[in-house]
Amino acid sequence: MRRFTMRTFVPETDVQRVYARLSDFPSYLGYAKSVRSVEMRHRPGEPPTSAWEVDFRGGILRWVEEDEFHPDERRIDFRQVQGDLEAFTGSWLVEPADEGSMVTFVTEFDLGIPTLQDVLEPIAEEALYENVEGICTGLFGAGTRPEAAWGEAVEDIGAARADA
């Protein structure tokens, strides 16, 4: 399992406005070239979900994620509930910053191909970086810039429990 974190400076000082724009997943289609479709699904009595299709390494990744929107905290949590990846969870967080806002994207993912993880995980991190940068630059315009990005191996808690 891999964790990827990216922090992006946004020149917009109104963190609530940044959060509102970030929460509009269907608008990502215009900003991330690899996002093919995003469909929001709202069923009464159930958490909201979104269905995604994105280009990845000459193919298409598809998944449905459960989305939790926390406007008071300016945080969005997501968790894949169906799809091509073995695991995909994460969050977006908007915080005040000097002369703007800081958007932090964190995800933990497992592509489900252990024999190729050393080759595919860096490619997946590069794709995540490009997509987050494209989304943020598209949503928030000139002056938006990545501040930091890094990936790290993390223990798969589910697998660790199964091995115990």
Strand partners, 106: 5, 91
Residue 156 has a pLDDT of: 61
Average pLDDT over residues 5-31: 95
Strand partners, 54: 35, 61
Residue 55 has a pLDDT of: 86
Residue 162 has a pLDDT of: 46
DSSP 155: -
- Has residue 75 been placed in a domain? yes
What is the residue range of 114's domain?
2-23+70-156
Q: How many domains does the structure of the chain reveal?
A: 1
Single-letter code of the amino acid located at 143: G
Over residues 85-118, the pLDDT tens digits come to 899 999 999 999 999 999 999 999 987 776 767 7
- Has residue 55 been placed in a domain? no
Closest-CA residue to 131 (of 113, 109, 115, 152): 109
- Has residue 95 been placed in a domain? yes
Over residues 110-156, the pLDDT tens digits come to 877 767 677 778 888 888 898 899 999 999 999 999 999 999 988 76
- Has residue 30 been placed in a domain? no
The overall pTM is greater than 0.85: yes
Structure tokens given for 128 = 């995540």
- CA 132 to CA 113: how far, in whole Å? 24
